[in-house]
Amino acid sequence: MRIGILTGGGDCPGLNAVIRAVVRKGVKEYGYEFVGFRDGWRGPLEGLTMKLDIAATHGILTKGGTILGSSRTNPFKIEGGVEKITENLAKLGIDALIAIGGEDTLGVATKLDSLGVKVIGVPKTIDNDLNNTDYTFGFDTAVNIAVEAIDRLHTTAESHHRALVVEVMGRHAGWIALHSGLAGGASCILIPEVKFSVDQVCKWVESRFEQGYAPIIVIAEGAIPQDGDMIVKDQTLDSFGHVKLSGIGEWLSAQIESKTDKEARTSVLGHIQRGGTPTAFDRVLATRFGLHAITAAHDGDWGKMVALHGTKIERVPLASATTKLKTVDPELYKEAEVFFG
């Protein structure tokens, strides 16, 4: 069998570990050939490929990013895009695809599966918001990076008696904010799932100062104030219809300063959360996903995604990953509220 592999959407620590596991097991146990498609769905759309054999995977386990490159290309938004993909797959002798990606990439894979393309999906996102899997690789690395930043910001905040707002990624789901805020001892955590009161945040800030501490506020980029809307960088959209988020941290800092007369600063972690070496947890999870993905392909179990349920890797319908977002349960958020203020 000749299998194509692609990585789409935002880059993420652990992508290379998946590629390595798929190729190693596929070649050694099944004798398969692999073709790497470059830059997400742009690869099969434009016929952009690279050789993928065991030699190509040497030394990539610890590397962040993806050796295949990525993009946010949506073939369903391009005239004749799907036809071009099927033509290129046939021309290259590709029997099946393994698509590694998040909501958008796997959404395209689901549509192609319904059109007869043989696809296996592997879930990837630092946001941990894909449905029907307990965790996605990249999330643990992002949380660890955010926690390290919060730990460092505690000392500078206390030295200068400032409130520090730490803005982390999370468009619709506050998993990174919740986990990093809890692990980093934040004074409050603000997530997209629960609209926040600026006045209440200011009360928590003042309470923390009264206790002799400098407050750290962890906020997801998609968090929304009770009397406002999501703050966006501009009105441009990517090919999947997403706006660019930016500015909620700066906005909140300005509100805190004006309402409390306390100095406030913002640290936007941004793409730092997505880069660098994956944690051991993410390397192992990504490797296991890759091993099970190629096994599913060998079994001919198309239209499936590999998923983590407890400690087991199981196969679930590919479509189930994108039917809804996995967001933070309000009850879980309430558990964290005891530490606010």
Alpha-carbon gap, residue 334 to 271, rounded angstroms: 28
Annotated catalytic residues are 127
Q: Which residue has the tokens 């592997």?
A: 122
C-beta contacts of 193-196 below 8 A and 24+ residues apart? 193/327, 193/328, 193/330, 193/333, 194/330, 194/333, 195/224, 195/225, 195/226, 196/223, 196/224, 196/225, 196/226
Q: What angle do CA 269, 8, 295 make, to 5 degrees?
A: 120
CA distances from 14 to 20, 254, 257, 333 (A): 10, 37, 40, 27
Residue 187 three-state SS = coil
DSSP 76-93: GGSTTHHHHHHHHHHHTT
- The answer to whether the beta carbons of residues 255 and 203 sit under 8 Å apart is no
Alpha-carbon gap, residue 172 to 192, rounded angstroms: 6
> What sign for the dihedral angle of Cα 299, 303, 305, 310?
negative
Closest among 97, 94, 101 to 74, alpha carbons compared:
101
User: Going by C-beta distance under 8 Å and a sequence separation of 6 or more, which residues neighbour residue 112?
Assistant: 82, 85, 97, 119
Alpha-carbon gap, residue 81 to 208, rounded angstroms: 55
Helices (H) and strands (E) in the chain, counts: 10, 13
Cα torsion 325, 331, 333, 336 to 10°: value is -150
